[in-house]
Structure formats: structure tokens, C-alpha cells
Amino acid sequence: MITWRTSKIPVAYPEAEKAMEEQVSAILAGQPAEGIWLLEHPNLYTAGTSAIPEELLDSRYPVFPSGRGGHYTWHGPGQRVVYVMLDIRSRGISIHEFVHGLEGWGIAALAELGLPAFRREGHIGIWVGTPGQEEKIGAIGVRVRRGITFHGMAINVAPDLASFSGIIPCGIKDRGVTSLAACGIPDSMANLDTALRQTCPWQD
């Protein structure tokens, strides 16, 4: 059974990483500790395993190395971070299928709020817009330890999009980032949370 948790105040990144590590260890020890954690972080950048120094343009915020896949990304107020600690091994799900499932989940949740979103071939994440003018609204970066996932995805609700200008987001130079608010959908974080709960593909 998956336990849901929502943090009402921003969570420091080291604190979140420590909590995820503990939860993954509990699952590996055989405890029923699968969980989904909805939170926000204070302003910061994280560097995934594919990040290169040239992609950090301005270290205006603290920069944290991260064991997740991907390049640099920003986290901060107005962005819903979704951390998923799931035993994909026992569920018979491959890493590729899990990432594909995260994308589909984000797309389904945004559809509940009236925003059409889609996958973009060759670029992991959640996208909106028209062909040739796509913008990224959701980033995905995961880590897997012995069949247990952690980290997950981040969806931009109403952040200060200028915060992304300090990095090359996800290593992609030719496309921008956007948010629900920038797309004219002023839904609150709580509405997105409800949509995420309704559309989660791994409910027991």
C-alpha cells in the first residue's frame, strides 16, 4: 500500500534526500514503506548525474549534487515536487516503464486541470505547446536502488520562471520552460495535488 504525504512548508533538499534514503532502506528491509511525497523546496538548483559545469550559468541559489538522472534543474516556491518511493521490482516494472509512467501520470493530472500536455520524443519530461514551439512544464529525474525508486518529477504550477535562467534546464538549449499559471490556468497547488491523487497509475 502506498502512503501519501504532503509537506505544508518548504523542505530543505538535504533533509528530503535523507528522508528518501531512509524510506528506501525501509522498503529494502521488507517494511511496507512505499510512499509518494508532495512538497516544495526553497530556491535551489540540483545537478543530476549528467550535469556538466557549463550548464550552470549563475549560481544565485545553492547548488546540490543529486544522485538522480538528468542535468541541472531548479526547485523552489510554486513548483510541486513529487517524490516516489516505489518497489518496481516486485511490481514487475522496468526503469523505462516507470519513467514512462511518470510522464503519463503528469500528463493525466494536467488534463484534469484542463491543460493538454504530451511526451516529446527523445526528451524525457512533460511538455505543452505546439510542434516546434514546445515548452517543458514538468521535469523527471529518478534514481533506482535494487529495484526501489526515489526522486521523481517536478511540475511548475506558479513559480518565478526567471529562476530557470541561471541554468540550462535539463541540458536543453532550444526550448523554454513554462507553468500552469503562464499557460493561463490559475489552479492552486491543492488542485494539482488532487489531480495527482486521482490519476496515480500505481494505486493499490
Q: Who's near 89: CB < 8 A, 6+ residues apart?
A: 146, 147, 148
Task: Count CB neighbours of 199 within 10 A.
Answer: 17
CB burial of residue 77 (10 Å; 0-12, 13-18, 19+) = middle
CB burial of residue 188 (10 Å; 0-12, 13-18, 19+) = exposed
Kindly report the CA angle at 150 between 149 and 152, in degrees rounded to 5?
105
Active-site residue 183, yes or no?
no
Q: 192: helix, coil or strand?
A: helix
- CA 184 to CA 194: how far, in whole Å? 19
In which residue are the cell numbers 507553468 written? 179
C-alpha cell at 108: 493525466
Q: Which of 84, 170, 177, 195 is catalytic?
A: 170
Q: 108: helix, coil or strand?
A: helix
Active-site annotation, residues: 170
